[in-house]
Amino acid sequence: MARIVAGIACSHVPAIGVAIDKGTTETDYWRPLFAGYEPAREWLAKLAPDVAIIVYNDHASALSLEIIPTFLIGVAAEFPIADEGFGPRPVPAVRGHPDLAWHLAESLILDEFDMTIANEMPVDHGLTVPLSVTCGRPAIWPFPVIPVCVNVVQYPPPTGVRCFKLGQAIARAVERFDQDLRVVIYGTGGMSHQLQGERAGLINRRFDTAFLDGLTRDPVALTKIPHTEYMREAGSEGVELVMWHVMRGALRTQVTEVYRHYHVPASNTAAALMILENEGSS
Ligand SMILES: [Fe+2]
C-alpha cells in the first residue's frame, strides 16, 4: 500500500530559480533565504521518498489563457522544462510516475473531482523552483513527480475548502494504490505578495504567520478564508495559498511541524518553506 508520509509548503518565486541557476545564492541579498533551505534539503534527502506529488499553478507556460482547467493531473513519463521567455531553466527534465498518476486520475474522477488529464506538458517555475529549493542541483531529480495544477491565474480559482477536499481525495487514492510507495506532497506558491497596481510590493507578515500556524494546528478553519480576504490581506497573488490546502488536506489531522522558514524579501514576495510529517508514518 502506498502512503503519504509528509507535506511540504514552499514558495515558487521565479527569481529563486534564477539565483540557483546563476549561482548567486551566496550574495548578501539571497544568503539568508538560502541558508534556511539547507535543513529542509537534509530532511528530504534522509526521508528519500519514492515519489512526489507537486501541487502548483502553471503561469501561462503550458496552458495559455485560452484553456484554463481548474484542476489538472500530469500522467506523462517525462515532463520537459518550459521556456518562460529566457529559455528553459538548466535543470533536468522531470520524470513522471504514470502508474500512480493514472491511478490517481481514475480514483479522483470516480471520487467526483473532474480532473483534466495532461499526457504531455512542459512544467514551469511553479514546479521546478520548489524541486530546486528542496533537492539542490542534482544531475537527475531524486524521485519521480506527479504534477497537479490548480488554476489561480484566472478568476475564479477554486475555494480553499475545495482544495482541501481534493487533498483528502488524493490521500484516499494513494492509500488504494497497490505498490508500497512512500509519497511526499508539495503545496507551492505564496505567501503574501502583490505584483501590480497601487499596492505592488505588499507583504503581510502577520497574515502569513497566522496562516502557517493555522496550517499546522487548525487547517479546516483555515480553509474558510474567502478569496477576497486573500486579496485584501495577502495581495492579489497571495491567493496562490489555496494550493497549500491541497497538501494539507492530504495529510492527517494530527501532524508534526518539523521545520519552518520564513523570509522577506524574496523578489517581491514573502517566501516560506514548511514541512509537516504525518505522525508515525515516515
Ligand atoms: Fe506562482
Tens-place pLDDT, residues 68-108: 999 999 999 999 999 999 999 999 999 999 999 999 999 99
Ligand 1 centre distance from Cα of residue 97 (Å): 24
Ligand 1 centre distance from Cα of residue 179 (Å): 32
Looking at residue 265, which CATH number applies to its domain?
3.40.830.10
Q: Based on the structure, what is the number of domains in the chain? A: 1
pLDDT at 186 over 80: yes
Ligand 1 centre distance from Cα of residue 188 (Å): 8
pLDDT average, residue stretch 149-170: 97
pLDDT at 280 over 80: no
Q: Which domain does 176 fall in, by range?
A: 3-278
Distance CA 117, CA 146 (A): 12
Within 10 angstroms of residue 45's Cβ, the number of other Cβ atoms is: 12
Paired with 54 in beta bridges are 147, 186
pLDDT at 282 over 60: no
Residue 279 or residue 50, greater confidence = 50
Question: Which residues are annotated as catalytic?
Answer: 125, 193
Task: Provide, rounded to the nearest whole percent, the portion of the chain with pLDDT above 90.
Answer: 96
Ligand 1 centre distance from Cα of residue 126 (Å): 6
pLDDT at 66: 93
pLDDT at 279: 79
pLDDT tier at 229 (50, 70, 90 boundaries)? very high
Task: Identify the CA nearest to 132 among candidates 37, 24, 260, 242.
Answer: 37
- pTM value? 0.98
Distance CA 261, CA 191 (A): 12
